[in-house]
A and B are shown apart, each in its own frame.
Chain A
Amino acid sequence: MTLWLLAALGFLVALAPCAVVVLRGEAVDRLVGLEMGAVVLVLFMVCVAESEHRIAFYDLALALALLSFGGALVFARFLERWL
């Protein structure tokens, strides 16, 4: 097991507290947990891409970073206006 896979495993472990925050708590707390989970997942994907030596996997991480940003903005506006 390479160092990068170990780091990816560490990031997977770091997803657990985010999942707990998302599964319980109020709507805004869940949104914060979702944003944190997206950041951790992007870092996890970078580590997996580096361990597998696949440059195409970086695009997945980049797409997730961009889409999670848009999603967070939409959720925040939704919470601000309608909930």
Chain B
Amino acid sequence: MSAAPVVIAVLLFCAVALTLCCTVGVLVMRDPLQRLHYLAPPASVSAFLIVAAVLVQEHSWQSATKVLLIAFVLSLMNGVAAHATSRAALVHMGTARPCELPERIQIIDETGAVIGEADMSPGEKGVAEVKPWH
């Protein structure tokens, strides 16, 4: 008996088991950012396990090349999609800042004279701290 079917069975079993565990992880986790972590293993590890199984099974380079291309597309683009989704999740959850604020600003009176400066990082009570200009 050849060892190839056993190797293929083991590789496919690992790929399916990993994917099943990760989909259950996506289902169980509460936060979108936690769920996003479970996207990576099927797109990278499972895809290349299937590529290895195809390489063991197939003798034509055409199908092996196509499966390799699919695995590379999955693993490379999954990171970009996960990054975009996490940005959307942060904005959706209200954690991200809508725009970039400077760390320090100057306070100017009606004559245009600088009378103070403010530290935009929140102080002890969550209010911007204002210091007199020297």
Residues of A participating in the B interface, judged by any CB pair closer than 8 Å: 3-4, 6-7, 10-11, 13-18, 20-21, 26-29, 31-33, 35-36, 39-40, 42-43, 46-47, 49-50, 55, 58-59, 61-62, 65-66, 69, 72-73, 75-77, 79-80, 83
Q: Are A69 and B42 in contact (CB under 8 A)?
A: no
Q: Are A43 and B19 in contact (CB under 8 A)?
A: yes
Q: Are B73 and A66 in contact (CB under 8 A)?
A: yes
Q: Are A7 and B73 in contact (CB under 8 A)?
A: no
Please, which residues of chain B bring their CB within 8 A of the CB of A3?
A: 5, 8-9, 12
A10-B16, A36-B39, A46-B50 known; A80-B88 Cβ under 8 A: yes
User: Is B108 interfacial (CB 8 A cutoff)?
Assistant: no
User: Which listed residue, B17, B53, B70, touches A58 by the CB 8 Å rule?
Assistant: B70
Q: Are A80 and B63 in contact (CB under 8 A)?
A: no
User: Which listed residue, B17, B24, B50, touches A47 by the CB 8 Å rule?
Assistant: B50
